[in-house]
Structure 1
Amino acid sequence: MSRPYFPAHTLDSAPAAAHAAMESTQRHFGHLPEAVGKMAESPELLTGFLDLSARFERSSLDQLAREVVVLTIATRNVCHLCVAMHTAKLTKLGADPALIEALRTGTPLPDPRLAAVRAFTLELLATAGAASPEALDAFLAHGFTPRNALEVVLGIGTYTLSTFANRLTDAQPDAQLAAFAWEPAGV
């Protein structure tokens, strides 16, 4: 579905307050992703997401655990763009293909520690943050800390913002992500 209300801005058409974030993203990726151009309609949304994303990347959760949080949110919220982008990221990191496939399909994860991250993320989503003591204990039993539990909340907030914005604006994966295209099971 086309959303004419949300053009894929360029540096020439975007609000001035979005330029620095767009330029930084373009330098990082080597191109300006469509989603960034669409988010630029609201410089506050764009800079807020990029700031939160950078903070999540600096959290004490390890990289694979962070990606489990992101892909759990992305598949749950049916964000084709986020699933493709983070599949590409995991592939570049050399992650186990079985892990990537399980994250994309919602099947059991081969790593119990990462399965605990997914389960805790889903518990937080299902309970609007009011995780049961048992769910928190199960997460902590896999070597995670109370700080990590709060960082999962940060990831949920960050990528809920992203997936909602991408779906609202109908942002599509860029051509570079074609090999990582995703459709939810049953479609």
Structure 2
Amino acid sequence: MPATAFPDHTLESAPAATRPGLAAIARKQGFLPAAAGRMATSPEVLGGFLKMNALFESTTLDKLSREVLSMTMATRNDCHVCVAMHTGILTALGADPALVAALRESTPLPDERLEAMRRFTLAVLATNGEVDDETLRAFTAHGYTARNALEVTLGIAAYTLSTLANRMTGAPVDGPLTRFA
């Protein structure tokens, strides 16, 4: 199906069920990203992503670790919208530019703890969740917990949904995110 099948919904044109979510996104971002507008074609997909993302944001993982997971998913799934968005978030968090560059290039991170998050995320994906004891020990040796390991699966689920939906809809990088593309 061509990406043109997914309109850039506005608050006025979007299905009624998606309007509150889109309004919240527009308030938070200062504009309505086309990615969200296109995802609104399915109220269930937009609602599902927003709920999963809110749950992921409420986990015991620290913000920087969550962003490492998000950016790892964005680069792994080649989602240019997510790469730009999470580059912007990392920049706003004051993340080391070397960390951001390594995440964008899918290379080892300069911070060992955050590299453990990146590696664990990739291991969970590569093994369909069946990580071995050594992999789990390597993750927890950097201060993460068994709870965090399970929370990684929630982040993977949320960002699998968004990255694949953004690719399917051909969502462009727009608004203030273009400087992070």
User: Hey, what's the Cα distance between the residues in 1 that align with 2:155 and 2:91?
Assistant: 20
Deviations 1:139-162 (A, max 9, x none): 011111010001111100000000
User: Hey, what's the Cα distance between the residues in 2 that align with 1:29 and 1:68?
Assistant: 20
Identify unmatched segments of 5+ residues in structure 1. 182-187
Shift in Å, 1:81: 0.3
Equivalence for 1:102: 102
**Which amino acid letter does the alignment assign opposite residue 143 of structure 1?**
G
User: Hey, what's the Cα distance between the residues in 1 that align with 2:101 and 2:4?
Assistant: 34
* Aligned residues with identical type, % of pairs: 59
Match status 1:4 vs 2:4: yes
- Would you say how many aligned residue pairs link Structure 1 and Structure 2? 181
Deviation beyond 2 Å, 4+ runs, structure 1: none
Deviations 1:68-91 (A, max 9, x none): 100110000000000000000000
Identify unmatched segments of 5+ residues in structure 2. none
User: Hey, what's the Cα distance between the residues in 1 that align with 2:103 and 2:90?
Assistant: 11
User: Hey, what's the Cα distance between the residues in 2 that align with 1:116 and 1:80?
Assistant: 24
Kept in 1: contact 2:33–2:175 (CA 8 A): no
Shift in Å, 1:175: 2.8
Shift in Å, 1:35: 0.7
**Which amino acid letter does the alignment assign opposite residue 134 of structure 2?**
E
Shift in Å, 1:15: 0.9
User: Hey, what's the Cα distance between the residues in 1 that align with 2:12 and 2:114?
Assistant: 43
Corresponding residue SS for 2:134: helix
Deviations 1:54-73 (A, max 9, x none): 11111100111101100110
User: What value does the CA root-mean-square deviation take over the aligned residues?
Assistant: 1.2
Equivalence for 2:62: 62
Corresponding residue SS for 2:116: helix
Shift in Å, 1:173: 1.0
User: Hey, what's the Cα distance between the residues in 2 that align with 1:21 and 1:175?
Assistant: 18
Corresponding residue SS for 2:61: coil
Deviations 1:110-164 (A, max 9, x none): 0111110001000000011111111111001111101000111110000000000
Kept in 1: contact 2:11–2:22 (CA 8 A): yes
User: Hey, what's the Cα distance between the residues in 2 that align with 1:95 and 1:11?
Assistant: 33
Equivalence for 2:14: 14
**Which amino acid letter does the alignment assign opposite residue 145 of structure 2?**
T
Shift in Å, 1:31: 1.1
Corresponding residue SS for 1:66: helix
Corresponding residue SS for 2:78: coil
How does the TM-score come out when normalised to structure 2?
A: 0.97
**Which amino acid letter does the alignment assign opposite residue 29 of structure 1?**
Q
How does the TM-score come out when normalised to structure 1?
A: 0.94
